Amino acid sequence: MKRIVLTALDYGTAFGVDRAIRALLADNRLTAVGCIAASDRWPREYLPLRDQVETVARRTRVGLTLVLSRPYAPISDPAREALGPRFPAPRFYSLRAPLGLLPNMALKAEIEAQLDRFQDYYGHPPAFIALADGLDGNAGVAKLVVEVMAERYREDWPDFLFREPERLRSRLLARRIRKLGGDTNREAVTLPMVEDPKALHRFFWRGLEGRRDGTSVWCVPAQADEHLRSLATRAEIAGRESQFAYLDSPDFLLALTEKDIFLF
C-alpha cells in the first residue's frame, strides 16, 4: 500500500476553484487544502469549507497558502507601505533576495497578518503553511516564514510544505525546521495539467512508482468561472477542468484501488 497526500493549495482563488475543491472533499477525494486568506473571497468562502470538512469522514488537513506576489494585494500596513497596493511579481524576490534587499520587516508583518486572518475566520491555526508561486524555493523569503513560525509557535508547529522538497535548498531549510520542532513534507509530485483523462489515469498507474510513502501530490482542480478566466489561459483552465473531472470520476477510484493507493 502507498499513501499519498492529495493536496490543492489554491482555495480562495475563484469561486469555481472553491466549488471544485469542496465537491471533491464531499466525496473524500482530497486530503489537504491550502487556503489563500489574503483573498477577497476568504471571508465568504471559509465557512462553506469548514462546514464541508466537518461533514466528511476522512480527516482533512486545512492549511494556509501564503501569497506574496501578483495578483493579490498586501493586507498589512507595513507591506502596503513597502510594496504598494499590489504585490510584485515573483521575479522581484529572485532579484532582491540574493542582494539582501528584501523588505524583511514588512514581509514578516504580512506573513503574520495572513496567519492572523486565517485563524480569525477559520477558528484554529493552520495545519500547514505553503508559499504560492514557488517562493518556498527562494531562501530569503522562506527563511522569513520560518522565523515567523519560530516566534509564533512554541509547540504544535504547522508543517511547512515545499513544492519541491528534494531540492538542496529545501532540504537544508527542512533540516533547520525539524531542529526547531517543526516538520515538512519529504517528497512531492505534480498532477499533470492536461486535457486527456488517460494521461491522468497513467499518472496514478505509473507516475507514483518509486515515490516514498506520504508523498504530496499537488493538484489544481477547478470549474471555470468568469474570474478564473481572467487569471488563467485557456489551456490552464482546460487542464484544471480535466483534473476536476478525472478526480471526480469512477476511473480515479478504480486507479486507487487497483494500484493500492490510499489517500492519507
Task: Note whether residue 87 is domain-resident.
Answer: yes
Residue 158 lies in a domain: yes
Residue-wise pLDDT tens digits, 128-151:
999 999 999 999 999 999 999 999
Chain-wide mean pLDDT for the chain?
95
The distance of Cα 29 from the centroid of its chain, to the nearest Å, equals 16
Q: Is 80 left (phi over 0), alpha (psi -120 to 50) or beta?
A: alpha
- The residues facing 64 across adjacent strands are 35, 129
- pTM value is 0.96
The low-confidence residues of the chain, meaning pLDDT below 70, are: 57
- Domain membership of residue 161 (yes or no) is yes
CATH code of the domain containing 69 = 3.20.20.370
pLDDT at 71: 94
Does residue 255 belong to any structural domain of this protein?
A: yes
Residue 57, pLDDT score? 67
Grid cell digits, residue 49: 469549507
Number of domains in the chain: 1
Residue 264 lies inside a defined structural domain of this protein: no
Instruction: Let me know if 206 is exposed, middle or buried by CB neighbors in 10 A (0-12, 13-18, 19+).
Output: exposed
Strands 159-161 and 188-190: unpaired
What range defines the domain where residue 67 resides? 2-259
